[in-house]
Amino acid sequence: SPQTYVEIFEVGPRDGLQNEKRMIPTAEKIALVDLLSRAGFKRLEVASFVSPKWVPQMADSAQVLAGITRASGVSYAALTPNMRGYEGAKAAKADEIAVFASASEGFSKANLNCTIAESIERFLPIIEAAKTDGIPVRGYISCVTDCPFDGPTPPAAVADLAEKLDALGCYEISLGDTIGQATPESLTAMLQAVLAKVPAARLAGHFHDTSGRACDNIEAALALGLRVFDAAVGGLGGCPYAPGAQGNVATEAAMARIESLGYRTGLDAQIINQAADMARKMRESA
Ligand code: HMG
Ligand code: MG
């Protein structure tokens, strides 16, 4: 019987690089994206139209989107925290955008300088404009099990926010273990609460590997029906506003775990390894 497809959404050029201290030349980012474009991904997150005062590394997002060679069938995604970011992403011809909220107030304040409710208010015009412009919107929720400021996150807080983003029109909601503290047990409890409100087909897992449990957490989420996972080649990454946040689960590790469980990712292992090398070298030259 044909194997079930599990999609890995490559976020390395965004989540992987945003935290790097060295200002990575635009040409290096473009080279990484161009290599990743040949690996078999359907979606690549490559840009972030946030304040350059907050995240200087993403200041060249428009140049990255302008400089890459777009592969057909690949959607190039960008983060947009506000309307200004949306206008930037649209002008740069991002194929899809993402709004990002937090399930905890402490991280919302640290990352977006506003409350959760205020962040939703900011997303409304973005989602409205994107609908008019025919640009799909993904939604992120950070700190789905643990917050670096507020401690453990109640599953109901995640479920309520997921339901809200789903109702607003986000086509998929990516659940972020921002600081890599989830266990398969805490993750499962959170997912069960969310699944009561949003079907697995519209959810994704976004796990950072701070504690080395990201692959186990992918496995727990697979068991509950999730079929999309965010990852970053070479395990790069971390959020500058989440103390202790480390890299995303490495794409190569996620791919190996997912395929070992009998699923198909459709990714070219040789290109993934090449891209992981490239990504690690980008960090080493720091
Ligand atoms: P603020 O300081 O409250 O708002 O920041 P502001 O409106 O006063 O803006 C500050 C300055 O930035 C102003 O410039 C604005 O013009 C400018 P000034 O007047 O001082 O010269 N500005 C912008 N510039 C370019 N593009 C924009 C933009 N907006 C304002 N879009 C703001 C509020 C939302 C802007 C800020 O908090 C911000 O940019 N935050 C983003 C933080 C971020 O990018 N974090 C990482 C991504 S999230 C993540 O990694 C988690 C995730 O991976 C999932 C997970 O792991 O959990 C997705
Ligand atoms: Mg992240």
Q: Per residue in 165-221, pLDDT tens?
A: 999 999 999 999 999 999 999 999 999 999 999 999 999 999 999 999 999 999 999
Ligand nearest to the CA of 77: 1
Residue 236 has pLDDT above 90, yes or no: no
Atom of ligand 1 nearest to the CA of 80: 31
Encode pLDDT of 128-151 as tens digits: 999 999 999 999 999 999 999 999
CA 16/CA 116 separation, integer angstroms: 24
pTM here? 0.97
The confidence score (pLDDT) of residue 286 equals 52
The confidence score (pLDDT) of residue 268 equals 98
CA 47/CA 177 separation, integer angstroms: 20
Q: What is the mean pLDDT of the segment spanning 38-56?
A: 98
Ligand 1, atom 56, lies closest to the CA of 178
Residue 27 has pLDDT above 60, yes or no: yes
Q: What is the mean pLDDT of the segment spanning 146-163?
A: 98
Atom of ligand 1 nearest to the CA of 53: 12
CA of 2 to the centre of ligand 2 (A): 32
Mutate to test the pocket of ligand 1, among 15, 49, 50, 142 (most ligand atoms within 8 A of CB): 50
Mutate to test the pocket of ligand 1, among 51, 153, 208 (most ligand atoms within 8 A of CB): 51
The answer to whether the CB of 100 is under 6 A from ligand 1 is yes
CA of 50 to the centre of ligand 1 (A): 4
- Residue 241 confidence class, pLDDT cut points 50, 70, 90: confident
Residues 183, 188, 191, 196, Cα dihedral to 10°: -160
The confidence score (pLDDT) of residue 1 equals 57
Residue 282 has pLDDT above 80, yes or no: yes
Q: What is the mean pLDDT of the segment spanning 37-63?
A: 98
Catalytic residues: 239
Residues 112, 249, 22, 94, Cα dihedral to 10°: -60
CA 171/CA 134 separation, integer angstroms: 12
CA of 205 to the centre of ligand 2 (A): 10
CA 2/CA 107 separation, integer angstroms: 42
Give me the amino acid identity at 74. V
Residue 238 has pLDDT above 80, yes or no: no
- The answer to which of 65-79, 105-119, 219-233, 271-285 has the lowest mean pLDDT is 271-285
CA 93/CA 242 separation, integer angstroms: 29
Question: Has the ipTM of the complex gone over 0.90?
Answer: yes
**At CA 92, angle to CA 110 and CA 87, rounded to 5?**
55
Residues, Cβ < 5 Å to ion ligand 2: 15
Q: What is the mean pLDDT of the segment spanning 52-69?
A: 98
Beta strands at 151-152 and 146-147: parallel, antiparallel or unpaired: antiparallel
Ligand 1, atom 17, lies closest to the CA of 51
Ligand nearest to the CA of 175: 1
